[in-house]
Amino acid sequence: MNEVKEPKKPIIFYYMIVMVVLLLFNALTMPWLLERKIQNVGYNTFLSMTEEKNIGYVEIDNQENTITFTDKNNEAIYKTAMVEDPDLTQRLYDAGASFAGTEMKQASPLLSIFMTWVLPLIIFIGIGQFMSKKMMERVGGKDSMMFGMGKSNAKVYVKSTKGIKFKDVAGEDEAKENLAEIVEYLHNPERYREIGASMPKGILLVGPPGTGKTMLAKAVAGEADVPFFSMSGSEFVEMFVGMGASKVRDLFKQAKDKAPCIVFIDEIDAIGKKRDGQIGGNDEREQTLNQLLTEMDGFEENNGVIILAATNRPETLDPALLRPGRFDRRVPVELPDLKGREAILKVHAKKVKIADDVDFEKVARMASGASGAELANIVNEAALRAVRDHRSFVTQVDLEESIEVVIAGYQKKNAILTDKEKRIVAYHEIGHALVAAKQTNSAPVQKITIVPRTSGALGYTMQVEEGNHYLMSKEEMENKIATYTGGRAAEEIVFGSVTTGASNDIEQATKLARAMITRYGMCKDFDMVAMEVQTNQYLGGDSSLTCSAETQKIIDEKVVELVRKQHEKAAQILLENREKLDELSLYLYQKETITGDEFMNILNV
Ligand code: ADP
């Protein structure tokens, strides 16, 4: 969209005014600027010019001991130092010059004080007044602060042919459906007014980062063909208390002038956090929030200003912000599912040259859990890779490799593993894959590699989910834990010792096991009691325990028990398939990267 800036007089304009005034001032007080050039000459020149009667006007300055004179035609001005000369007057008279002497004049002290102190002061105060008046006009409110500090700086976008439309936002069909109503309203508010229905004033878009919340807000404005004001919550918070509130006021004033329009506040949690009433709380933030609440109440229904806000921490928002009449509608913008991922990849692939035979579904399957922004990044990485390889289009391999780059970082070109390490890593990865493949409910592997990555991973097994999983059964979760432990189990069986390579697996397995017990009610002893609540659902998911210390102890024991059981199961599977484990590990060790098909072929022989 086009960003339209308010026409501003550049600051240089004001500097120019100051410069002109200073120059004028100087010119008045220092007349030499306006005078013709005076030539300094010797006394003998003066004498000879007098002799030649080539002299017009003479001024004798007794105070400075100088004689200023002109030639006969008054064309040039000369100046000379005065010499004791009693006949001077007579000679000048003879030469026919008109002459005068200046008196010993003393500038009036009052006048000089006025010129040196008062006048400049008056001029500067005048300029200051003028400039602050101009600033006030630009800010546009009587209550505005000096020098635009209370100005909202909201970017104003207006409709343009390049505007983002709903079709640019792939997937997210539910969110789009929800927002389509807003577009309809902005197109035809009369229909709603007639029947007495009122649109929600505020709509909250919630979801993990990079899922297209900003894009959706822009798309609403694009579809409805209305101006789009965008501002981030953190931009409201200024160093001085009261500035944020003033910015909110200003933003709403601008919006009301341009109605119908969309106001988008990104990261609203920066100002909309719960007011906790603690001493030393953030006054500025609270004032800003109060102002926002007031403004939202202040404008009447159906005035055409729709406020969209985005956040990935909805649980931290102040309840007052969420009550009916404010942000009462919540539109979840979740991570895309398989179809959504495929659609997003296709949208972004249109921007790059791509081979015809690219299987977007396969790429989407491999990139499970990726957000829209990550998928956009994957396509871009693939394009960069194609350029690096001097190709003119992006291939399937580029896309697959770039998924790994986005997930695990670039390949470490010169990380040299010792032979033993390489063998251990190969067994470790095959351990994961074999356990995954042998458990019927686990997804088959897509790719296994032991090429070290910049993220620190020495190798990894990429599992592929066949379809979308909205529910996971207890057995599936247990199998997943077993798969995590498979790597370590293989090391134990083959080498009889353990390495640090399993640290990430341990973390993941523990997290899953804990969640099963504390949150999903998958432990009979606790029935359906929540032992933990999850906060920050969209940002990695922290959790806090809600049980007594005794119960915590029991939970810890149960987690260990659960993981141990799965670890044993994984070891059992590997022992039963020891031959395949060796064969596959050797194959991986030699080839470094193998595909899921190669793996299954060897396994099924
Ligand atoms: P958010 O506001 O949710 O953090 P953005 O809307 O800023 O995310 O999205 C960041 C980028 O990710 C967009 O510029 C776009 O390239 C890409 N993106 C995210 N979601 C989608 C989607 N559903 N369709 C197409 N592109 C998307």
What pLDDT score was predicted for residue 1? 46
Asked whether the domain spanning 419-604 has the same topology as the one spanning 338-408, the reply is: no
Going by alpha carbons, the residue nearest to atom 25 of ligand 1 is 169
- Binding pocket residue ranges, ligand 1, CB within 6 Å: 169-172, 209-215, 310, 344, 347, 372-373, 376
Residue 564 CB contacts under 8 Å (≥ 6 apart), including other chains: none
Instruction: Identify the CATH homologous superfamily for domain 419-604.
Output: Peptidase M41 (1.20.58.760)
CA of 216 to the centre of ligand 1 (A): 8
Identify each DSSP E strand in 127-210 by its residue range.
155-158, 202-206
Identify each DSSP E strand in 92-248 by its residue range.
98-102, 155-158, 202-206, 228-232
CATH number of 36-95: 3.30.720.210
CA distances from 425 to 67, 210, 400 (A): 103, 33, 22
Provide the token pair at 311: 């956040």
Distance CA 245, CA 263 (A): 16
Residue with tokens 């939970």: 555
Question: What amino acid positions are annotated as catalytic residues?
Answer: 429
What pTM was computed for the model? 0.65
Three-state SS at 112: helix
| Domain 155-332 class in CATH | alpha beta
CA of 551 to the centre of ligand 1 (A): 42
Judge contact between 523 and 531, C-beta under 8 A: no
Query: Quick one: CA dihedral 124, 128, 131, 137, positive or negative?
Result: negative
Ligand 1 nearest-atom number relative to CA 170: 24
Run of H or E including 341: helix 338-349
Judge contact between 412 and 454, C-beta under 8 A: yes
Distance CA 569, CA 572 (A): 5
Ligand 1 nearest-atom number relative to CA 209: 4
The domain spans of the chain are: 2-30+109-139, 36-95, 155-332, 338-408, 419-604
| Domain 338-408 class in CATH | mainly alpha
CA of 309 to the centre of ligand 1 (A): 15
What pLDDT score was predicted for residue 444? 65
What pLDDT score was predicted for residue 224? 84
Q: Which of 215, 232, 377 has the most ligand 1 atoms within 8 A of CB, as the residue to mutate?
A: 215
What pLDDT score was predicted for residue 162? 57
pLDDT means per 10 residues in the chain (605 residues)? 51 76 67 64 84 83 82 83 80 80 63 82 87 66 46 55 77 86 84 82 88 88 84 74 78 82 86 67 74 78 80 84 83 86 91 88 83 91 92 89 76 70 91 87 72 74 66 88 93 91 90 91 86 75 80 92 95 93 92 85 83
